[in-house]
Structure 1
Amino acid sequence: MSAAQETENASAEMAAEHILGDYLELLPKQRETFDIAQTRVGERASNNMPRKQAYDQHMYTHMMAQKSVDPTEVGLADTPPIIFLPAPYPPCVTPDSDLSQMYVDDLRIATHHRGKYLLLRVFAPPIRIAGIHLLVEDVHGDYLRLALYLQYPDLVESELEDVFSEGTVLLVKEPCCRLHTDETCGVRVDHVSDVEFIATDDERVPSCWKTEQKDSKTTADTLKQEGNDFVRKGMYWAARKRYTQALRISSDAIETEVIKRNLALTHIETQDFEAALKILGYPTLNSHDSSCDRALLRASQALHPLGRFEESLEVLEKYCLLYPGDDKATHRLKQARMRKIEMTTGDYDFKSMQKLAGRLEPPLMDHADYVGPVEIRESKLHGRGLFITRDVEVGELLLCEKAFCYASGKARPATLFHLEATSVSKGALAEVILRTIHKASRNPSLASRILSLHPGTYKPCEVQTSSVQPVIDSFFIEAVVNHTSYFCRPSLKLYEEEVLKRVKPSAERKDCGFWVLPSYINHSCLGNCQRSFIGDLFILRATRDLPKDTELVTPYVLGSGPGFEAQMRKTWGFTCTCPLCLYTKTLPDEFKSKETKLINSIKCYFPAGGVPASALTSVNKKIIANLLDKLEAIYRRPAKEIPRDNLAELQLAFADDYLLPTDDTRVIDYLRKSLESVGFVFKPGSSPKGFRVVEWGHHEAATVRTFIKLAEFFLVPSTEKRREDVMYFWKECAEMIYKIWVGENETFTRVYTTSTWGRPSKEESERMAQTFHKLLNMKGDDT
Structure 2
Amino acid sequence: MADLNDVNTVFLAEKEVERIENIVKARLEKCSEIGGQPREPRDSKDAIRQATGASLMADMGGADPDSTETNGRGGAIPALTIGQPYPPCTLPLKDLQPIKLADLQADTHHRGCQLTIKRVSPVVTLVSRSWTMVQEEGDDDTERLEVCLHKTRHGKDVLESARNFVIKEPYFTITSQGEPTIRIDHPSDLIILDGDLKGSQGSATQTYGPFEDLAEAAEEAEKIAKKCKDEGNVALEQQNLPLAFAKFTKGLCLARYEDVFKTNPDLARDLARNRAYVNLLLNQLDEAQVDAKAALIGKEDQRSKELDSKAYFRAGSAAYNLGQYQEAKACFEQQQELTPDNKTASAYLKNIEVRLREQETGAYNFKRINLGLSRSRPRVDAASFIGNTTVKSSGEKGRGLFATRDIPAGEIVMCEKAFCVVWGYESDALTAMTYDVRDDRIRVSPVGLSRAIVQKLLNNPSQIGRVMSLYGDYQGEGNNVTKTDDGTIVDTFRIHDIVSRNAFGPGIQFGEERLNNASTGLWIWAAYINHSCVSNVKKEYMGDLMILRATRPITAGEEIFHSYDESSDYDDRQSALMITWGFECECALCVVEKADDPAVRKKRRGLVDEVNDFVLREHWTNAKRLTISRARRLVKAIEDTYDEEKYKGLPRMATLRIKEWLDLATANQKR
Specify the TM-score bucket, using the shorter chain as the normaliser.
0.7 to 0.9
Q: In the alignment, residue 551 of structure 2 is paired with which amino acid?
A: T
Q: Is the 8 A contact 1:83 1:131 kept in 2?
A: no
Residue 176 of structure 1 pairs with residue 171 of structure 2: yes
Of stretches 379-388 and 514-523 in structure 1, the one that deviates more from structure 2 is 379-388
Q: In structure 1, how many angstroms separate the alpha carbons of the residues matched to 2:96 and 2:560?
A: 46
Q: Pick one of 94, 98, 102 that aligns with 2:99.
A: 102
Residue 478 of structure 1 pairs with residue 502 of structure 2: no
Q: Is the 8 A contact 2:355 2:383 kept in 1?
A: yes
CA change 1:600–1:334 in 2 (3 A) is closer
Residues 197-222 of structure 1, C-alpha deviations (whole Å, 9 max, x = no match): 45799778799999xxxx99983333
Q: In the alignment, residue 88 of structure 1 is paired with which amino acid?
A: Q
Shift of 1:343: 1.6
Q: In the alignment, residue 269 of structure 1 is paired with which amino acid?
A: L
Shift of 1:553: 0.6
Equivalent residue, structure 1, for 2:399: 384
Residue 39 of structure 1 pairs with residue 33 of structure 2: yes
Q: In the alignment, residue 443 of structure 1 is paired with which amino acid?
A: N
Q: In structure 2, how many angstroms separate the alpha carbons of the residues matched to 1:154 and 1:480?
A: 21
Residue 264 of structure 1 pairs with residue 276 of structure 2: yes
Residues 255-307 of structure 1, C-alpha deviations (whole Å, 9 max, x = no match): 3212212222222222222122233346x956685533321111112212211
Q: Is the 8 A contact 1:381 1:522 kept in 2?
A: no
CA change 1:702–1:154 in 2 (3 A) is farther
Residue 232 of structure 1 pairs with residue 240 of structure 2: no
Q: In structure 1, how many angstroms separate the alpha carbons of the residues matched to 2:391 and 2:474?
A: 22
Q: In structure 2, how many angstroms separate the alpha carbons of the residues matched to 1:601 and 1:206?
A: 71
Q: Pick one of 489, 501, 505 that aligns with 2:507.
A: 489
Residue 306 of structure 1 pairs with residue 318 of structure 2: no
Q: In the alignment, residue 360 of structure 2 is paired with which amino acid?
A: T
Q: In structure 2, how many angstroms separate the alpha carbons of the residues matched to 1:535 and 1:599?
A: 30
Correspondence list, 1:64-213, <5 A: 65=58, 82=78, 84-85=80-81, 87-92=83-88, 94-96=90-92, 98-122=95-119, 126-129=123-126, 130-139=128-137, 141=139, 142-151=141-150, 153=152, 155-157=154-156, 164-166=161-163, 168=164, 170-180=165-175, 185-197=180-192
Q: Is the 8 A contact 1:602 1:628 kept in 2?
A: no
Of stretches 531-540 and 605-614 in structure 1, the one that deviates more from structure 2 is 605-614
Equivalent residue, structure 2, for 1:339: 355
Equivalent residue, structure 2, for 1:406: 421
Q: Is the 8 A contact 1:91 1:472 kept in 2?
A: no
Q: In the alignment, residue 378 of structure 2 is paired with which amino acid?
A: P
Shift of 1:395: 1.7
Aligned with 2:105: secondary structure?
coil
Equivalent residue, structure 2, for 1:560: 569
Q: In the alignment, residue 40 of structure 1 is paired with which amino acid?
A: I
Q: In structure 2, how many angstroms separate the alpha carbons of the residues matched to 1:591 and 1:32?
A: 44
Q: In structure 1, how many angstroms separate the alpha carbons of the residues matched to 2:377 and 2:341?
A: 33
Q: In structure 1, how many angstroms separate the alpha carbons of the residues matched to 2:20 and 2:627?
A: 62
Equivalent residue, structure 1, for 2:670: 758
Shift of 1:112: 1.0
Of stretches 400-409 and 32-41 in structure 1, the one that deviates more from structure 2 is 32-41
Of stretches 267-276 and 219-228 in structure 1, the one that deviates more from structure 2 is 219-228
Q: In the alignment, residue 440 of structure 1 is paired with which amino acid?
A: L
Equivalent residue, structure 1, for 2:203: none
CA change 1:152–1:329 in 2 (3 A) is farther
Higher gyration radius (CA): 1
Q: In structure 2, how many angstroms separate the alpha carbons of the residues matched to 1:171 and 1:112?
A: 15
Correspondence list, 1:692-711, <5 A: 705=664
Q: Pick one of 420, 432, 439 that aligns with 2:449.
A: 432
Equivalent residue, structure 2, for 1:366: 381
Q: Percent of aligned pairs with the same residue?
A: 22
Q: In structure 2, how many angstroms separate the alpha carbons of the residues matched to 1:525 and 1:280?
A: 49
Residues 324-381 of structure 1, C-alpha deviations (whole Å, 9 max, x = no match): 3333333333323322222222222211111121x23361222211113101111135
Aligned with 1:532: secondary structure?
strand
Give the number of aligned pairs.
Answer: 608
CA change 1:172–1:633 in 2 (3 A) is closer
CA change 1:22–1:379 in 2 (3 A) is closer
Q: In the alignment, residue 47 of structure 2 is paired with which amino acid?
A: A
Aligned with 2:321: secondary structure?
coil
Shift of 1:149: 2.5
Q: Scaled by the length of structure 1, what TM-score is found? A: 0.67
Equivalent residue, structure 1, for 2:224: 219
CA change 1:522–1:324 in 2 (3 A) is same
Equivalent residue, structure 2, for 1:656: none
Q: In structure 2, how many angstroms separate the alpha carbons of the residues matched to 1:629 and 1:86?
A: 42
Q: Is the 8 A contact 2:38 2:106 kept in 1?
A: yes
Shift of 1:406: 1.0
Aligned with 1:539: secondary structure?
strand
Q: Is the 8 A contact 2:119 2:133 kept in 1?
A: yes
Shift of 1:23: 13
Q: In the alignment, residue 86 of structure 2 is paired with which amino acid?
A: P
Q: Is the 8 A contact 1:464 1:472 kept in 2?
A: no
Q: In structure 1, how many angstroms separate the alpha carbons of the residues matched to 2:431 and 2:627?
A: 53
Of stretches 466-475 and 439-448 in structure 1, the one that deviates more from structure 2 is 466-475
Q: In structure 1, how many angstroms separate the alpha carbons of the residues matched to 2:645 and 2:289?
A: 63
Q: In structure 1, how many angstroms separate the alpha carbons of the residues matched to 2:578 and 2:122?
A: 46
Correspondence list, 1:674-753, <5 A: 705=664
CA change 1:244–1:126 in 2 (3 A) is farther
Q: Is the 8 A contact 1:29 1:181 kept in 2?
A: yes
Aligned with 1:119: secondary structure?
strand
CA change 1:589–1:489 in 2 (3 A) is closer
Aligned with 1:574: secondary structure?
coil
Q: Pick one of 520, 530, 534 that aligns with 1:526.
A: 534
Q: Is the 8 A contact 1:274 1:443 kept in 2?
A: yes
CA change 1:45–1:394 in 2 (3 A) is same
Q: In structure 2, how many angstroms separate the alpha carbons of the residues matched to 1:615 and 1:66?
A: 54
Q: In the alignment, residue 556 of structure 2 is paired with which amino acid?
A: K
CA change 1:249–1:83 in 2 (3 A) is farther
Q: Which has the higher contact order (CA 8 A, sep 6+)?
A: 2
Q: Is the 8 A contact 2:443 2:580 kept in 1?
A: no
Q: In structure 1, how many angstroms separate the alpha carbons of the residues matched to 2:237 and 2:47?
A: 37
Q: Pick one of 591, 600, 603 that aligns with 1:582.
A: 591
Q: In structure 2, how many angstroms separate the alpha carbons of the residues matched to 1:600 and 1:94?
A: 54
